[in-house]
Amino acid sequence: MNQPLLNHPTIQKILDHYKTIWALNHLSHLASWDVETYMPEAGATGRGVALGKAQSLIQKLVLEPEFVNQAKSLQGIEELNDWEQGVVRVVNRMIDQYQKLPASFVEKWALTTNQAQVAWRNAKQTNNFTLFRPHLEKIVDLSIQRADYYGYTDSSYDALLDEFEEGSRTAQVELYFKTIRPFLTSLLQRITKSTQFISTHPLEQTPYLRNSLEKFNQEMLSFLGQDPRSLRLDISAHPFTQNISSQDVRITTWYHSHDFAASILATIHEFGHALYELHGSPELEYTPICGGASLGIHESQSRFWENFVGRSQAFIHRFYPQMQALGVDIHKSSEAEIYRYFNTVKPGLKRVEADEVTYHFHIMIRYELEKALITKQLKVADLPEAWNAKYKEYLGVEPKTFSEGVLQDIHWSMGAIGYFPTYSTGTVLSATWKKMLEKELGTIDSLIEANQIETIQTWLKDHIHQFGSTYTFNQLVEKETGTKFDAQPWMEYLESKYRLLYP
């Protein structure tokens, strides 16, 4: 019989105690999913109170002296296997974060970000930055305090980055963007000068039959190997994935009246997140390391399915008849046209609608601005102007309203400063997985053509999913690739794909 993954007696005690924390998280996740999908609006207040209470109960359980002592006693013990070390790392990080933030600060933070989200929604709806400004000012101040509580060596922004991607530092992120920026700038220049360049693809404006698209998404999920007993699809204002347990993951998608690719790509993106959660080793269930490792690794999975499967020629070919059936005006489009529609590159104002090439500029803009706010190089009052200037500089476009400019994302209103870079690094990492997988198994296109989706799934499971959060982003990348995180495979991928699309 195989040796169990988590065997050490003190680890066993930690896991016993953690199971209650897991249960509270489990119920909180279910309650949060309900907020975004089916909860009647008036339920918001009660749900907020319940989730807040559950959170403080979790904090109490994490800080129980015996649990803290057990976790500390295992730090630096070398005979633990990787999985056990993962538990020790994750639990101690949790303890450390809860210990460093005073309860009064946590409460203030929750209150401020709750109010800020309401203000942000109103401000966005009425195109009024002034409504959101005082809230964002408070959030920036509190984020600086948060960084001070956590502590850092070089920059307060480091402490915030680390919260979303363990081990991430400003200097590395800076270097990373410096590497990809000139590459993207010249690629985009070539694309916009190509005779194939168009500023809008007609299919973006073409209406579709909603019922048919809902059916399409279900059929696509079956093709991708969805097990409906453990993965369900619903509808929400913004697509997201919520893991409840390793056998119960919920994803959502959206439907607009036109632009059917937006719904298909959102569905397959969230499927990629879900698969990661569903594929953890069963022995990790109820432990602190079950579920995806980090935001960056997670995004490397969602982007993998979205870009390499959903935007591929083989996928469009496989689903061409079903796509034609999505509407009378879509019916006329050739397969080649639909492939081009799924891969149209154009500088625009909105991050969530961006293509594979321009997407990263949206992230760079947010990264530079939020870092400037945190390091006090920029005042919130000057943010809209700075935002517009960056859009002009990076993408040659300028928002006419606050809503399509500085107010477009929810992140800052939630206090998520330091989050954005993971969208870019995760996307870039996905190309490293692609390169490795294709070297072993042949191209993803050929696997789709041969109906070998399961082969792709198994590869991802073996190399990434099974570990849950045993490893950090950097640890997993180094373990699997033998080198440090590198943007080269992604640059090669974009270069060769878009040279063909935009000669």
- Compare residues 343 and 427 and give the one whose CB is closer to Mg ion: 427
**Angle 156-164/170-193 helices, nearest 10 degrees?**
70
Our CB check for Mg ion shows the closer of 159 and 476 to be 476
Kindly state whether residue 302 participates in binding Mg ion, applying the rule CB under 5 A. Answer: yes
CB of 426 to Mg ion, least distance (A): 8
Number of chain positions touching Mg ion (CB under 5 A): 1
295: part of which helix (H) or strand (E)? helix 295-303
Instruction: Return the structure tokens found at 105.
Output: 């600060």
How far apart CA 127 and CA 461 sit, in angstroms, is 44
Contact window for Mg ion (CB under 5 A) among 132-140, 197-205, 298-306, 375-383? 298-306
> By CB under 5 A, what part of segment 368-397 binds Mg ion?
none
Residues forming a β-bridge with 250: 232, 242
What phi-psi label fits residue 248: left (phi over 0), alpha (psi between -120 and 50 degrees) or beta? beta
Smallest gap from residue 306 Cβ to Mg ion (A): 9
Question: Would strands 231-235 and 248-253 be described as parallel, antiparallel, or unpaired?
Answer: parallel
Residue type at position 428: V
For Mg ion, give the closer residue by CB, 84 or 355. 355
Query: Is 252 an interacting residue with respect to Mg ion (CB under 5 A)?
Result: no
Residue placing its CB nearer to Mg ion in the complex, 302 or 307? 302
Query: By CB under 5 A, what part of segment 321-360 binds Mg ion?
Result: none
104 Cβ neighbours under 8 A, 6+ residues apart: none
- Minimum CB separation from Mg ion for residue 99, in Å? 30
Residues 78 to 107: which contact Mg ion by CB under 5 A? none
Q: How many CB atoms lie within 10 A of CB 386?
A: 18
> What single-letter DSSP state applies at residue 253?
E
Diameter of the chain by CA atoms? Answer: 68
Rounded CA separation 347/396 (Å): 7
Phi, psi angles (nearest 5°) of residue 153: -95, -50
Shortest Å, Cβ 359 to Mg ion = 12
Question: Which CB sits closer to Mg ion, 302 or 344?
Answer: 302
Q: To the nearest whole angstrom, how small is the minimum distance from the Cβ of residue 409 to Mg ion?
A: 13
- Whose Cβ is closer to Mg ion: residue 85's or residue 427's? 427
Distance between first and last Cα of the chain: 57
Q: Does the protein bind Mg ion through residue 143 (CB under 5 A)?
A: no
Distance of CA 73 to the CA centre of its chain: 34
Least CB distance to Mg ion at residue 164 (A): 13
Sign of the alpha-carbon dihedral angle for 163, 431, 181, 483? positive
* Least Å from the CB of residue 299 to Mg ion: 5
**CA distance linking residue 468 with residue 206, whole number of Å:** 41
Encoded one letter per residue, x for contact with Mg ion by CB under 5 A and - for no contact, window 256-295 reads: ----------------------------------------
- Least distance from C-beta 429 to Mg ion, angstroms? 13
Per DSSP, the three-state class of 207 is strand
When CB distances to Mg ion are compared, the closest residue is 302
Handedness of CA 145, 147, 150, 152 (dihedral sign): negative
Distance of CA 499 to the CA centre of its chain: 28
Q: Of the two residues 32 and 455, which places its CB atom closer to Mg ion in the complex?
A: 32
Active site residue ranges: 270
Identify which of residues 423 and 459 has a Cβ nearer to Mg ion in the complex: 423
Distance CA 93, CA 408 (A): 32
Give the amino acid at 219: E
Question: Is 418:370 a contact under the CB 8 Å cutoff?
Answer: yes
**235 beta partners:** 253
Rule CB under 5 A: which residues touch Mg ion? 302
